[in-house]
Amino acid sequence: MGWGDRLAKVYIALIILFIYLPVFFMIALSFKSGAKVSFPIEGLTLDWYIKPPTGYEYSAYISIMHDKNFFTALNNSLFVSIVTALLTCLLVTTTALALRKRIVGRDLLFYLFILGFIVPGVALGLGVTFMFRLFGIESSLLAVAAILTVYTVPFGLILMMSRFDPELATYEYAASVLKASPLSVFRRITLPLIIFEVISAAIIGFLLSWGEVIRTQFVMKGTGTLATYIKNELSINPITPKWFAAGTIIAIVAFIGLAIFAYIMSRRVR
Amino acid sequence: MGKALETKELVKWYGKEVLALNKVTFDVDAGDFFVIIGPSGCGKSTLLKIIAGILDYDSGKLYINGVDMKNVPSYKRDVSMMLENYALFPHMNVFDNVAFGLRMLGKDKSEIEKEVKEALKLVGLAGLEKRMPLELSGGQRQRVALARALVINPSILLLDEPLSHVDYRLQRKLMEDLKEIHRKVGNTFILTTHVQEHALSLADTVMVMNTGVIEQIGKPEEVYNNPATVFAARFVGEINLFSAQIKSWDGELCYLNTEIGELKANPKNKNALPSGDKVAYAVRPERVKIGEEARLCDNKIEAKLVSYYYFGHYMEYVFQAGGNTKIKVSVPTEKVGNLTLGSTYLLGWSAKDALLIEKPCMIEGLDIEEVIYGK
Amino acid sequence: MSAPQLKMGLIDRVAKYSRYLLLLPGFVLLLLFLLIPLSMIVGISFFERFTIAGPETFTLKNYIAFFTSPQMPTILLNTFGMSLLACFISFVLGYPMAYFLVFRVKSARARFFIVSLLLVPFLIDWSVRVVAWLPILGESGIINYALMSLGVIKEPLELLFGRSALLIIWPQTYLLWMIFPSYLALTRIDPDIINAAKVLKAPPHRVFLDVTFRLSLPGVVMGFIFVFVSALGDYITPALWAGGIQTLGLSVANYAANFVWPYAAALSTILVVIALLVLYVLLKVVDIKKLVY
Ligand SMILES: Nc1ncnc2c1ncn2[C@@H]1O[C@H](COP(=O)(O)OP(=O)(O)OP(=O)(O)O)[C@@H](O)[C@H]1O
Ligand SMILES: [Mg+2]
Residue ranges of domains in chain C, CATH in brackets: 69-125+169-291 (1.10.3720.10)
Give the phi and the psi of residue C165 in degrees, each rounded to 5.
-60, -45
Threshold 0.90, pTM exceeds? no
Q: What is the mean pLDDT, run by run of 10 residues, along chain B of 375 residues? A: 90 91 94 93 94 93 92 91 92 95 94 94 90 90 92 93 85 88 90 88 93 93 90 88 88 86 81 80 91 86 91 90 86 86 90 87 73 63
CATH fold of B233-373: OB fold (Dihydrolipoamide Acetyltransferase, E2P) (2.40.50)
Provide DSSP, A91-159: HHHHHHHHHTS--TTHHHHHHHHHHHHHS-HHHHHHHHHHHHHHHTPPP-HHHHHHHHHHHHHHHHHHH
Q: Which atom of ligand 1 is nearest to the CA of B44?
A: 21
Q: Examine residue A197 and state whether it is found in any structural domain, yes or no.
A: yes
- CATH code for position A73: 1.10.3720.10
Q: Examine residue A55 and state whether it is found in any structural domain, yes or no.
A: no
**Domains in chain B: boundaries:** 3-230, 233-373
Q: Do the chains contact at A110 and C292, CB–CB below 8 Å? A: yes
Most confident of the following: A97-101, B170-174, C269-273: C269-273
A196 pLDDT higher than 80: yes
Residue identifier of the C-alpha nearest atom 20 of ligand 1: B41
CB contacts, 8 Å: B104 with chain A: 175, 178-181, 184
Residue B136 to chain A, least CA–CA distance (Å): 17
Query: Which amino acid, A26?
Result: M
Predicted local confidence at residue C6, as pLDDT = 67
Strand partners, B159: B82, B191
Classify each residue of A67-81 as buried b or exposed e, where b means 16 or more C-beta atoms within 10 Å of its C-beta: bebbebbbebbeebb
Strand partners, B254: B249, B265
Residue B227 vs residue A163, higher pLDDT: B227
Residue from A165, A176, A178 whose CB has the most chain B CBs within 10 Å, to mutate: A178
Query: Which amino acid, A32?
Result: K
C105 CA from centroid of ligand 1 (Å): 39
Pick A177's closest partner by Cβ from B52, B89, B91.
Answer: B52
Predicted local confidence at residue C4, as pLDDT = 42
Q: Which residues contact C147 (CB under 8 A, 6 or more apart)?
A: C153, C157
Q: Examine residue A247 and state whether it is found in any structural domain, yes or no.
A: no
Predicted local confidence at residue C2, as pLDDT = 40
pLDDT in tens, C199-253: 888 888 888 888 899 999 989 998 998 899 888 888 888 888 887 788 888 888 8
- A270 confidence band (pLDDT: 50, 70, 90): very low
Segments forming the whole domain that contains residue A175: 67-237
C3 pLDDT higher than 70: no
Q: Examine residue A47 and state whether it is found in any structural domain, yes or no.
A: no
Pocket lining: B14 vs ligand 1, CB cutoff 6 Å:
yes
Pocket lining: B40 vs ligand 1, CB cutoff 6 Å:
yes
Question: What is the average pLDDT across C35-49?
Answer: 91
Give CA–CA dist C43/B135, Å, rounded: 60
pLDDT in tens, A12-48: 999 999 888 888 888 888 887 777 777 777 777 777 7
Question: What is the average pLDDT across C120-145?
Answer: 81
Is residue A220 within 8 Å of residue A146, measured between CB atoms? no
Residue identifier of the C-alpha nearest atom 1 of ligand 1: B14
A178 touching B, CB under 8 A?
yes
Is residue B176 within 8 Å of residue B204, measured between CB atoms? no
Predicted local confidence at residue A153, as pLDDT = 94
A51 pLDDT higher than 70: yes
Residue identifier of the C-alpha nearest atom 22 of ligand 1: B45
Q: Examine residue A90 and state whether it is found in any structural domain, yes or no.
A: yes
Give CA–CA dist A37/C196, Å, rounded: 55
Neighbours of chain C (3+ CB pairs under 8 A): A, B
Neighbours of B16 (CB within 10 A): 6
Predicted local confidence at residue B340, as pLDDT = 87
C1 pLDDT higher than 50: no
Read off the DSSP letter of residue B334: G
Question: Which residues 60-99 of B are in CB contact (within 8 Å) with A?
Answer: 73-75, 79-81, 83, 85, 87, 89-91
Neighbours of chain A (3+ CB pairs under 8 A): B, C
C-alpha distance from residue C214 to each of A160, B143, B238, B329, C286 (Å) = 22, 39, 48, 54, 10
> What is the average pLDDT value for chain A, to the nearest integer?
86
CATH number belonging to domain B3-230: 3.40.50.300
Question: What is the average pLDDT across C261-275?
Answer: 91
Which helix (H) or strand (E) segment holds residue B21: the answer is strand B18-29
CB pairs under 8 A between A and C: 301
Nearest to A265 by CA among A191, A199, A168, A193: A199
In chain A, how many domains are there? 1
Provide DSSP, A40-95: ----B-SHHHHPPP-S-S-GGGS-GGG-HHHHHHHHHHHHHHHHHHHHHHHHHHHH
Q: Which of B11, B13, B18 to mutate to test the pocket of ligand 1 (most atoms within 8 A of CB)?
A: B18
Q: Do the chains contact at C8 and B71, CB–CB below 8 Å? A: yes
Max Cα–Cα distance, chain A, nearest Å: 74
Q: Do the chains contact at C132 and A115, CB–CB below 8 Å? A: no
Q: Which residues contact A204 (CB under 8 A, 6 or more apart)?
A: A88, A152, A155, A156, A159
Read off the DSSP letter of residue C139: T
Q: Examine residue A56 and state whether it is found in any structural domain, yes or no.
A: no
SS3 B92: coil
